[in-house]
Amino acid sequence: MSLTPRTSPTLTQFLIEERRRFPQASGQFNALLLDVAMACKAIAKSVAYGELAGMLGKHDEQGLSVNVQGETQQKLDVLSNELFLRMNERNGHLAGMVSEEMIEPYPIADPLPRGKYLLVFDPLDGSSNIDVNVSVGSIFSILRAPDEVLDGRPLTAQHFLQPGTRQIAAGYALYGPSTMLVLSVGNGVHGFTLDPILGEFTLTHRYLKVPTETQEFAINASNARFWEAPVKRYVDECLAGKTGPRGKDFNMRWIASLVAEAHRILMRGGVFMYPRDTKDPSKPGRLRLLYEANPIGFLMEQAGGRASTGHQPMLEVQPDSLHQRIGLVFGSKSEVERIEQYHAHPPRRESDNPLFAERSLFRD
């Protein structure tokens, strides 16, 4: 029997309640979100079967198929991408989609009906962790299609290049001990747990809030030698603990799954850093702006946290390409603001003193 309290609304009921705030709404937006949720349910089942269904391992063991990012595709990467496409292309809610696993946009073409929204997604974030049974997830963002697309113009990559402030909904599905859908439609962040008996997402976490203060941070410490000085300063201060300038001990976490990191921070606070570094100067960051940084940033801001590049608010960045990479810092507001301050006001170096400069007080 179901263990879900009868008073908890399902995702469908929750969306109906939200729609009442907009009497002019057609219902197309709600239907789109339910299509996305259906894709997440299907992916959750495939992830849960794992090796029982032969779903683990690389997509092409011989040719080692790679995606547009140059990353080796797992079997579940390809299947998850296909599920997102098939669950969302036929119902008339979308004009097109963009995925981490596809080079170009996926337009909704005749004879399928075209809708007024755009969907961008990472179908299976953290898929490199599948073989070790660590939580993975799906990340998505919904944008409005520009008027010219609604008027029948061909869909292009340019139509997706909208800053994060233009998102009208964002969320992620977490495939862990329980399957959860965490969602914001611009009115706070809410968590839904999949009832495996009913097959429905049920509201279990209303108005998630990121605590302002924290004593946890997450960063890939193996890249320390490539960090910019403000990031190194922040981490060094955290590691110094009670005897350092912060006056308190910090714990360091690193799951290497963006969805799992974001979920931990939403549930109990913390700060996550995957900043720009000098490891590969051709890449201004590791994570992708459109379908990773922007939706996670939207959720954090809606939950009272903050998301940033380290230099500017994440949601204000104007994208310049579909698969643009960017540095990302998010989590408890006070910690992210501190990291931003360190970038904006680096400490004065001894070499900046005119006494030690090449042209000093003792030279003409």
Residue with the larger pLDDT of the pair 65 and 16: 16
Indicate if 184 and 226 belong to the same structural domain: no
246, two tokens: 């912060």
Indicate if 73 and 186 belong to the same structural domain: yes
Calculate mean pLDDT across residues 142-160. 95
Out of 144, 179, 205, pick the residue that ends a domain: 205
Out of 153, 180, 205, pick the residue that ends a domain: 205
| Tens of pLDDT, residues 187-234 | 999 999 999 999 999 999 999 999 988 999 999 999 999 999 999 999
pLDDT of 139 higher than 50: yes
> Looking up tokens 């005119």, which residue turns up?
354
Mean pLDDT of the chain: 90
How many domains in the chain?
Answer: 2
Radius of gyration of the chain (CA): 22
User: Rounded to an integer, what is the distance from CA 290 to the centroid of its chain?
Assistant: 9
Structural domain that includes position 315: 216-344
Indicate if 162 and 187 belong to the same structural domain: yes
Closest CA to 300 of 170, 176, 192: 170
Whether 355 is covered by a domain: the verdict is: no
Question: Could you tell me the CATH number of the domain that includes residue 277?
Answer: 3.40.190.80
Give the pLDDT score at 133. 83
* Phi (first) and psi of residue 110, to 5 degrees: -55, 145
136/133 Cα distance (integer angstroms)? 9
Whether 177 is covered by a domain: the verdict is: yes
167/144 Cα distance (integer angstroms)? 8
Whether 361 is covered by a domain: the verdict is: no
Pairing state between β 328-331 and 271-274? antiparallel
Question: Could you tell me the CATH number of the domain that includes residue 70?
Answer: 3.30.540.10
Whether 17 is covered by a domain: the verdict is: yes
Give the pLDDT score at 267. 95
Whether 336 is covered by a domain: the verdict is: yes
Q: How many helices (H) and strands (E) does the chain have?
A: 8, 15
270, two tokens: 């913390």
Indicate if 179 and 220 belong to the same structural domain: no
* Phi (first) and psi of residue 54, to 5 degrees: 65, 30
pLDDT of 298 higher than 70: yes
Count CA atoms within 13 Å of residue 273 on its CB side: 29
Which of 48-62, 227-241, 344-358 is least confident?
344-358
List own/partner pairs for 342-348 with CB under 8 A and 24 or more apart: 342/230, 342/231, 342/233, 342/234, 343/228, 343/230, 343/310, 343/311, 344/311, 346/229, 346/230, 347/233
Indicate if 260 and 149 belong to the same structural domain: no
Indicate if 336 and 290 belong to the same structural domain: yes
Q: Is 248 helix (H, G, I), strand (E, B) or coil?
A: coil
Give the pLDDT band (50/70/90) at residue 13: very high
Whether 325 is covered by a domain: the verdict is: yes
Indicate if 194 and 312 belong to the same structural domain: no
Indicate if 254 and 158 belong to the same structural domain: no
Beta pairing partners, 140: 121, 171
Indicate if 220 and 198 belong to the same structural domain: no
Indicate if 196 and 264 belong to the same structural domain: no
